[in-house]
Amino acid sequence: MAALLLCARLPTNTITTPTSSRSTPSPSFLSFPSTATPAARRRCRAPLLASSAAAPPAPAPAAQPFRALPPSETTVLVTGATGYIGRYVVRELLRRGHRVLAVARARSGIRGRNSPEDVVADLAPAQVVFSDVTDPAVLLADLSAHGPVHAAVCCLASRGGGVQDSWRVDYRATLHTLQAARGLGASHFVLLSAICVQKPLLEFQRAKLRFEEELAAEAARDPAFTYSIVRPTAFFKSLGGQVDIVKNGQPYVMFGDGKLCACKPISEEDLAAFIADCIYDEDKINQVLPIGGPGKALTPLEQGEMLFRLVGREPKFIKVPIQIMDGVIWVLDGLAKLFPGLEDAAEFGKIGRYYASESMLLLDPDTGEYSDEKTPSYGKDTLEQFFERVIREGMAGQELGEQTIF
C-alpha cells in the first residue's frame, strides 16, 4: 500500500496528555452524566475513567428507541464530521433524511484552514456544534442543549498516528463521544475503526482496539444499547499519491517486487453509505464489520500498471528494498531512547513499514493469511475510476495533509 519512501517528521501539534503508550488506561468504564452545567466547562478536566472510590454513577437517561421511526424523526450525532470520511457520512445521513448533529472544531481541515462559516456551509443543513472532543465535560455541555439523540457515529482519528496523539484521539476522544452520546440517550453507536487493528503492531491500532473492547463491554452491560464497528480497508486517497508522478513520466515507486501486500480500496461515498446502513440494519448490530470496495484485491504492482495504462505510458518502476525502512526504524528507535522527542518519528517509520508490507484485507484466523476472498465487498466505485478522475482533475479535495506518511 505504501507508494513512496517514508519521510519521518516530528508532530506539528504539542501534546500535553501525560499518558503514554507504555502506561495505557485500564478498561474500566465511565459514568454517563445526564446533564452538564456551564460550571462544568470552567472546572479542571475530570478524569476519564471513574475512580473506584467515587460515588455511584448517575443512571443514564433511557435509550431512545428509533428503528421503528422514519429517518426524519431520528437524530444522529457525528463526531469527526469535518474529516475525510466524516463529511461524507454527514451528507449521506442527510440524504437519507436523518437529522444530523455534527461536532466540529472552530478551525478544521488541513492546518485549520476552514473557518466556522466554511464548516457550517459545507455541512448544511446539519446542526453544527463547535466543541472540544478531548474534554468530556465541555463536549457534553456544548451538546446538552441539542439532545436527545438516537444514534451516534464516531469518525475520529489521530492526525498522524503519533504515540500520545493516538491515545488522546483514537481512544480518549472516541470514548468522550460515547460518553456524550449515551448521556444524550443514544441507543446505537457506529465506530469507524480500521481493518489493520486485527494485527496490532502500532500505537493507534492498540488505542482503537482498547476502545472497541470497551464499546462491546458497554453493550454487554446494557441490552438496550447496541453498536457497529466498521473496519474499512484502504481509502482511495491513500493510493493516489503517485498519480501526478506517473502522469509526468516519472517511475512508480514500490517496495520489494510490489507484491508484498494488497488491498480492496473503498471510496468515501461507498464507505459513508455502508456506515449509514449500520444505523438501521439489524444484521449489523453488535458486529465487527470488515469492508472493502468492489472487485479483487490489488497489489502496488497492479496499481502501478493500472496507472501507466491509463496515462498511456510504458511502465517504469523503482523497487525499493524493504530493508531500507527497517534500518531507518532501527536508527530512530535508538535515538528515541536518548531523545524522547523522537518517539513519534520512530512510530511514523513503523507506520510506513506496516503499510508497505501488510495487506489491508481480512486476516483469516484459520490460516493466519490475508484473504481477498473473505474480505467483504461493498459499493460500486472502483480504484480505476478514481485514478481516471484524478488524472483529469487532480487531487483537489483528496489531500492527505498532516496524515501524509508515505
Alpha-carbon 183 to chain mean position: 23
* pLDDT at position 115: 85
- DSSP 8-state class, residue 202: S
Is the preceding omega at residue 148 within 30 degrees of 0, hence cis? yes
Low pLDDT (below 70) residues in the chain: 1-64, 109-112, 397-406
Q: Report pLDDT for 160.
A: 86
Total-model pTM: 0.84
Q: How far apart are the first and last CA of the chain?
A: 9
In tens, the pLDDT along 80-132 reads 999 989 999 999 999 999 999 999 988 776 666 778 899 999 999 999 999 99
Give me the pLDDT at residue 332, please.
92
Cα angle 373, 389, 394 (rounded to 5 degrees) comes to 120
Q: Using CB atoms within 10 A of its CB, is residue 132 exposed (0-12), middle (13-18) or buried (19+)?
A: middle
Residues 6+ apart with CB under 8 A from 304: 242, 246, 252, 254, 258, 315, 317
pLDDT at 378: 97
Taking each helix axis as running N to C, give the angle between helix 300-311 and helix 383-393, from 0 to 180 degrees, rounded to the nearest 10. Answer: 50
pLDDT in tens, 289-346: 999 999 999 999 999 999 999 999 999 999 999 999 999 999 999 999 999 999 999 9
Domains and CATH numbers, the chain: 67-235+264-291 (3.40.50.720)
